[in-house]
Structure 1
């Protein structure tokens, strides 16, 4: 069983297949930075990070994804579910996601409010 390694709000989880995910808070704005892969072995940590993010009170929450090399459909679904859970006019902004993220959102979550993809 993989156990997250935590250091000052920073977590990294290696999986049995060699995949790993690093998630840490953004310093300059409310959000998280993700690096590595979101898949079967790393998804629990991804879900936990998104859950914690959704509990914040700011109107705009960020997920910096420029160093994410892979995310599966389930990981994108977690993003969509996080956006759906936001109340009022709150917004989840996905910054520089891998190319498959907007395609999956358009395919399965077309018209979903509360989420924005920023190039």
Structure 2
């Protein structure tokens, strides 16, 4: 069953509608956006402009991510905050979506603020030069604060596994 968010309540998808590519259920929540898939969960509000990213942004989820981000940009005013604390992975397509969003906001004297950026993400944005976009502000993750436990991804490399003693 595909779940679609209608008026803030999960309901069965309406007959004749199709789920988005990658199996993500998308919907419009009054005053925001919501996306659910096996790899990515997005919750966004228009006022205040805020998007919470939880999971992985890759080739299968990038379109949904970019559309949710664009929706928040288009329906809001002021700086747009994107919480990436629970972002496990982002590919270059996702990074491009963030850079493009920041550039769009710059034309309107607004900023894209990335909250709780992991050190490796900040370094990657710096390596490709996108950290120099004047309308992009990255706030570092507080590495001292513990995050809630997560279920490990079944797609992680076996070489990272600890040997059993």
- 3-state SS of paired residue (2:127): helix
Once the two structures are superposed, residues 61-103 of structure 1 have per-residue CA deviations (whole angstroms, 9 ceiling, x without a partner) of: 1001111111112211210111011123200000012333211
Asked if 1 retains the 8 angstrom alpha-carbon contact of 2:46 and 2:72, the reply is: no
- The whole-number CA distance in structure 2 between the counterparts of 1:26 and 1:65 is 15
Larger radius of gyration: 2
Kindly tell me the number of residue pairs found equivalent between the two proteins.
Answer: 114
Please state if 1:118 is matched with 2:142.
no
- 3-state SS of paired residue (1:2): helix
Asked if 2 retains the 8 angstrom alpha-carbon contact of 1:69 and 1:98, the reply is: no
TM-score (norm 2): 0.61
The aligned residue for residue 11 of structure 1 is 35
Q: How does 1:16-95 map to 2 (within 5 A)?
A: 20-26=39-45, 29-86=48-105, 87-95=107-115
The aligned residue for residue 17 of structure 1 is none
TM-score (norm 1): 0.82
- The whole-number CA distance in structure 2 between the counterparts of 1:71 and 1:22 is 13
| Structure 1 residue 50, shift from structure 2 partner | 1.4
- The whole-number CA distance in structure 1 between the counterparts of 2:110 and 2:46 is 20
| Structure 1 residue 47, shift from structure 2 partner | 0.8
| Structure possessing the higher relative contact order (Cα contacts under 8 Å, 6 or more residues apart) | 1
